[in-house]
Amino acid sequence: MKHKIIYYALLLVAMTFAATQLATAQNYEKKLEKQQQKAKYEAQKDAMKKRAGQYKNKIKEYEKDGWKLASDSRTIEVALLEHYEKLTDKNNKQLVGEVSQCKSINICRQSAMNNAQNSYASMASADIKGRIESLLRADANVPETEIDKMLGGYERLVSADVSGALSPSYSVIKDNGDGTKSFQTIFLVNETEASKIRLRAMEKSLLETKITVKEAEEISKFVNEGFETEQ
């Protein structure tokens, strides 16, 4: 009987301790969740403040330089507000396609898209160029021509395919006074899709070179990291 009493007493102590530990863990999780929510809120607030400043500056810039919204039922103020709201999503990045001289809206728009694709591809190549060259030049078996071939192929393939990750946000136009127009389309880059496109482009360009599997894996890590597109 005495042993049973001791057994149940110890069991009660163990259950009480377990309940206390569980409550402590739950309280800690709740506290951690609140801290994370607060940090997220503060980050969003800071991002909104930054975008608000950019919005005001961009409106002034457009007015000063004579830019107007192109073929859009919205006002330029509404277009910008909607654009900066979308940029609060970290998966969206801004990319500008520019044309200094064009005549018809359709040609202006297509040229802006082409230039945006080329600009993005050039930035993608420049982002990894230094790191890849350092990695591959350490390997005496990889000649300079192979490095140039791989980077050239990568940039070409990214330029050809990145349109699938670009969404026009709005376009602005201004008269140059000589019968031509300047045109800009501001795109949103979907980073998830752009990352897939960059990786596919790198895989294809690597197949055409003598670069080893180990080096290819390291290069893919560089490609997957992404880069900043806002100038």
Examine the pLDDT at 41 and tell me if it is beyond 60: no
Return d(Cα 120, Cα 163) in angstroms, integer.
Answer: 10
Q: Quick check: 6 pLDDT over 80?
A: no
pLDDT at 20: 76
At residue 70, the 3 state secondary structure works out as: coil
The more confidently predicted of residues 154 and 10 is 154
The chain-wide mean pLDDT, for the chain, equals: 82
201 vs 146, which has greater pLDDT?
Answer: 201
| Burial profile 21-59: b = 16 or more Cβ within 10 angstroms, e = fewer | eeeeeeeeeeeeeeeeeeeeeeeeeeeeeebeebbeebe
Task: Pick the more confident residue, 210 or 165.
Answer: 165
- Find out whether 223 and 128 touch, Cβ atoms under 8 Å: yes
Q: Which two tokens stand for residue 168?
A: 């026009």
89: helix, coil or strand? coil
Structure confidence by residue, pLDDT tens digits, 113-136: 999 999 999 999 988 887 777 777
Q: Is the pLDDT of residue 35 over 70?
A: no
Query: Cα–Cα distance between 164 and 161 in angstroms, integer?
Result: 6
Cα–Cα dist 88/174, whole Å = 28
Please check the confidence at residue 177 and state whether its pLDDT lies above 60.
yes
Q: What is the pLDDT of residues 94-114, one digit of tens each?
A: 999 999 999 999 999 999 999
- Across the range 62-82, mean pLDDT stands at 91
| Contacts with 193 (C-beta within 8 Å, 6 or more apart), sequence order | 164, 165
With 80 as the cut, is the pLDDT of residue 178 above it?
A: yes
**pLDDT surpassing 90 at residue 3:** no
Taking only the tens place, the pLDDT of each residue in 135-176 is 776 665 677 788 788 889 999 999 999 999 999 999 999 999
Please report, rounded to a whole number, the percentage of residues in the chain having pLDDT higher than 90: 48
Closest CA to 44 of 88, 14, 90: 88
Structure tokens at 120: 């993005």
Higher pLDDT pick, 62 / 207 = 62
Q: Quick one: which of 129, 128, 154 has its CA closest to 221?
A: 128
SS3 209: coil
Cα separation, 72 vs 171, whole angstroms: 8
CA angle 38, 92, 105 (to 5 degrees): 145
pLDDT band at 229 (very low <50, low <70, confident <90, very high): confident
Packing angle, helices 213-225 and 105-137, rounded to 10: 140
